[in-house]
């Protein structure tokens, strides 16, 4: 089931515990939040109670889990909390933390799910917006044999496969079709897992200070038998007994599902997908994916989301180009005879833009340039390029309708062929540098497949 309205919780509720990697004792408190506010973590233990929004722009580390940062507000290992929120289809929440990491609980998302369900879920008046995947996206890392593909779907679906070379795991497969009916009982209880050979390495890096056999499934992958298990137990300073299990799992801890490890991988993916900032409708097929690949995919989907947001803001519905002339005129201050772009074909916010200028004999500059041999002046080609560059700044600055773009310099200008009446001038610009209100762009103008002009432009953004 895909909800049509946004959701939060009915009342505050807390959970105490220890952080997996930091070992810090902490309390996490979930609080209701207003519509369209999203999810944010609030560090109540720091002066001023700084916060960080749970989105991909605030991800600062993915080495062993997902870390969010915003100045002094840093929160480690947020994926299980976000998986609980994502799986329960909650949109708005304030999450207070008395330390820098949520409690690990039993290594799954279930403790957070149970607390949130106890608080109750409340439907809000605001509409819930979805990102509909309408084109296939993919991410691949051949060195790690990682592949993820996202295809169009009417709902969120996840298909996940792992194939570790270990008899306790082997090849495992799972699929999630319906969050509403499957998440709480079939995926939320799936615990995190690691291999015995990883434990010492993690300990040496200052991690898993709060780790133990009660919050992770440890898979045996050594040839040394009990000797290696005893050594690792001493390294971790574990008081509990540990032995090589017959199942290949330390202490023969029973799995909650025959394929619990791959279900936990799907759970981690759910948490990372929340960082897009909007729920999606799409089918994700993942093979051997982890946080690094998940975050790389989320960045691609986030770019698609930003494009769709800009298009819906400035464009008429069901129009073919990314922005037509009406959408352009909502942004650009230029008017006849100096508006020199007619369409925006594509836009990757803060990265690149593709614009079209339809050159006709009715252009006023053809009256004098040149009579009997009309050629578009080079300065007008560069001006059209600059106007396309102004559109490229849409996402880079707040309220672009209230800004002007002043060009400070134009370098490396070359004209390769004349542009004549009847030509369609395609302008492609890439962002080379962006800092605060100054940027530098590399632009090229094409007629068909032939390069007509190129230049580098430096600009400053000011208030209108």
Residues annotated catalytic, as ranges = 291, 369
Give 226-230 contacts, CB < 8 A, sequence gap 24+: 228/196, 229/196
CA-to-CA distance for 444 and 354, rounded, in angstroms?
10
What's the length of the chain?
Answer: 464
Sign for the CA dihedral angle at 298, 173, 259, 288 comes to: negative
Angle at which helices 79-87 and 110-119 cross, to 10°: 50
Residue 355 near residue 349, CB atoms below 8 Å:
no
3 state SS for the chain: CCCCEEEEECCCEEEEEEECCCCCEEEEEEEECCCCCCEEEEECCCCCCCEEECCHHHEEECCCCCEEEECCEEECCCHHHHHHHHHCCCCCEEEEECCCCCECCCCCCHHHHHHHHHHCEEEEEEECCCEECCCCEEEEEHHHCEEEEEEECCCCEEEEEEECCCCCCCEEEEEECCHHHHHHHHHCCCCCEEEHHHHHHHHHCCCCCCCCCCCCEEECCCCCCHHHHHHHHHHHCCCCCCCCCCCCEHHHCCCCCCCHHHHHHHHHHHHHHHHHCCCEEEEEEEECCCHHHHHHHHHHHHHHHHHHHHHHHHCCCCCCCCECHHHHHHHCCCCCCCCCCCEEEEEECCCEEEEEEECCCCCHHHHCCCCCCCCCCHHHHHHHHHHHHHHHCCCCCCCHHHEEEEEEEEEEEEECCCCCCCCEEEEEEEEEEEECCEEEEEEEEEECCEEEEEEEEEEEEEEC
CA-to-CA distance for 239 and 445, rounded, in angstroms?
70
């Amino acid at each position: 089931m895909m909800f049509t309205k946004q959701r939060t919780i009915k009342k505050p509720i807390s959970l105490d515990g220890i952080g997996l990697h930091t070992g810090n004792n902490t309390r996490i408190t979930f609080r209701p939040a207003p519509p369209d506010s999203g999810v944010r973590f609030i560090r109540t233990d720091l002066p001023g109670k700084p916060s960080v929004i749970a989105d991909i722009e605030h991800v600062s580390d993915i080495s062993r889990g997902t870390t969010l940062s915003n100045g002094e507000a840093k929160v480690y290992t947020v994926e299980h909390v976000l998986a609980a929120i994502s799986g329960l289809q909650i949109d708005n929440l304030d999450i207070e933390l008395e330390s820098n990491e949520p409690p690990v609980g039993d290594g799954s998302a279930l403790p957070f799910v149970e607390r949130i369900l106890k608080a109750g879920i409340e439907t809000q008046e605001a509409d819930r917006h979805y990102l509909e995947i309408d084109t296939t996206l993919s991410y691949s890392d051949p060195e790690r044999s990682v592949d993820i593909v996202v295809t169009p779907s009417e709902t969120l679906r996840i298909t996940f496969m792992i194939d570790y070379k270990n008899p306790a795991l082997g090849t495992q497969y799972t699929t999630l079709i319906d969050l509403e009916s499957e998440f709480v009982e079939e995926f939320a209880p799936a615990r995190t897992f690691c291999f015995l050979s990883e434990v010492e390495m993690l300990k040496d890096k200052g991690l898993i200070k709060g780790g133990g056999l009660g919050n992770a499934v440890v898979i045996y992958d050594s040839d040394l038998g009990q000797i290696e298990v005893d050594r690792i137990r001493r390294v971790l300073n574990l008081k509990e007994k540990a032995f090589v299990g017959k199942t290949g799992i330390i202490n023969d801890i029973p799995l909650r599902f025959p394929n619990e490890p791959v279900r936990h991988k799907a759970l981690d993916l759910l948490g990372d997908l929340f960082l897009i900032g909007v729920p999606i409708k799409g089918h994700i097929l993942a093979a051997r994916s982890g946080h690094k690949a998940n975050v790389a995919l989320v960045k691609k989907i986030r770019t698609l989301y930003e494009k769709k947001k800009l298009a819906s803001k400035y464009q008429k519905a069901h129009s073919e180009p990314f922005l037509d002339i009406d959408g352009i005129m909502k942004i650009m201050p230029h008017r006849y005879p100096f508006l020199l772009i007619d369409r925006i074909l594509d836009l990757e916010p803060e990265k690149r833009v593709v614009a079209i200028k339809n050159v006709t004999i009715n252009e006023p500059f053809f009256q004098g340039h040149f009579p009997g041999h009309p050629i578009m002046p080079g300065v007008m080609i560069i001006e059209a390029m600059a106007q396309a560059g102004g559109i490229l700044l849409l996402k880079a600055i707040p309220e672009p309708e209230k800004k002007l773009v002043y060009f400070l310099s134009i370098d490396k200008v070359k004209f390769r062929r004349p542009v004549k009446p009847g030509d369609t001038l395609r302008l492609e610009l890439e962002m080379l540098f962006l800092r605060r209100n100054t940027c530098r762009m590399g632009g090229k103008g094409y007629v068909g497949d032939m390069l007509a002009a190129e230049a580098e432009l430096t600009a400053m953004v000011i208030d209108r």
